[in-house]
């Protein structure tokens, strides 16, 4: 969405553009030929939809239908949702078979038990088993169980992931470091409409006797999308990097 809207570029806050107190320097080694290590700001283009969002939001506030504080609060709530919520759900399911059964049969109620409201989301929980490995994609856009996991990673929204994981899922999984045995079904779920999907990964071997908290630490976002198994690429590894 660039083009005509580019002309809006300089209407906006560029106060930081020439400052060097930011993280730019970490992106490129310092190069004396180019005194200005640079990565484009994400907010440097007012696209059609950004303009529309601002206009509608400002109108709603001006008419007294919502307040700026409510908008800010919703953004804060969205940002507070993280994969850690999902990891807790998975760890509970691993340690409590009755909870797991409820989670699969009626996810909204089961998740409410541990204090999360999944809002209007229609959730389907996909259980990985020794016979089936599940992986989730939205080929049409970027549908994702945001009410539990927060915002999706950028790669989930990329055309490469969206177009390839339906067509060559095993190759894509291999690129994530995940090798699925030939006699285990790979089941791709294309989230095209009103349902949202959440993968319940298999509990890793050798985790008997671990606490729910310790188990939750083995479950990363990518395991709940289904591109890795739990314990691989989990939050433990992310934390170590």
Partner 1 sequence: MARFSVGDRVRVRAVFPPTPPTHVRTPYYIRGHAGVIERICGAFGNPEELAFGRRYGPKSTLYRVRFRQADIWPDYEGAADDHIEIEIYEFWLEPNERENAA
Cα–Cα distance between 218 and 210 in angstroms, integer?
Answer: 11
CA distance 147 to 217: 20
Contact region with partner 1 (CB under 8 A), list: 49-57, 68-76, 95-103, 164-172: 164-172
Near partner 1 by CB under 8 A: residue from 66, 167, 211, 213: 167
Please choose, from the candidates 90, 134, 117, 151, the residue with its C-alpha nearest in 3D space to the C-alpha of residue 227.
134
Q: Which of 87, 150, 191, 218 binds partner 1 (CB under 8 A)?
A: 191
Q: Which residue has the tokens 């992310």?
A: 238
**Rounded to an integer, what distance in angstroms lies between the CA atom of residue 145 and that of residue 152?**
8
Site string for partner 1, 77-116 (x = CB under 8 A): ----------------------------------------
31 SS3 class? strand
Q: How far apart are CA 235 and CA 214, in angstroms?
A: 11
Residue 174 binds to partner 1 (criterion: CB under 8 A): no
* Under rule CB under 8 A, residue 169 binds partner 1: yes
Does 139 bind partner 1 (CB under 8 A)? Our answer is yes
Contact residues for partner 1, defined by CB under 8 A:
122, 124, 139-140, 166-171, 182-195
């Amino acid at each position: 969405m660039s083009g005509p809207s580019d002309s809006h570029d300089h209407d906006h806050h560029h106060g930081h553009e020439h400052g060097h107190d930011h993280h730019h320097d970490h992106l490129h080694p310092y190069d004396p030929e180019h005194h200005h290590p640079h990565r484009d700001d994400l907010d440097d283009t007012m696209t059609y939809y950004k303009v529309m969002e601002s206009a509608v939001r400002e109108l709603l506030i001006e008419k007294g239908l919502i307040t700026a504080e409510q908008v800010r609060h919703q953004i804060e709530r969205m940002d507070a949702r993280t994969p850690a919520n999902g990891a807790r759900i998975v760890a509970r399911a691993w340690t409590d078979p009755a909870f797991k059964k409820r989670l699969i049969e009626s996810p909204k109620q089961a998740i409410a038990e541990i204090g999360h409201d999944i809002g209007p989301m229609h959730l389907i929980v996909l259980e990985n088993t020794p016979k089936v490995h599940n992986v989730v994609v939205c080929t049409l856009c970027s549908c994702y169980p945001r009410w539990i996991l927060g915002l999706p990673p950028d790669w989930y929204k990329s055309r490469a992931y969206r177009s390839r994981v339906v067509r060559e899922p095993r190759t894509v999984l291999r690129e994530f470091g995940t090798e699925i045995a030939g006699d285990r079904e790979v089941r791709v779920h294309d989230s095209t409409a009103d349902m949202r999907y959440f993968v319940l990964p298999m509990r890793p071997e050798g985790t008997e006797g671990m606490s729910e908290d310790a188990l939750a630490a083995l479950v990363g976002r990518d395991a709940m999308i289904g591109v890795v198994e739990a314990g691989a690429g989990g939050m433990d590894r992310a934390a170590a990097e």
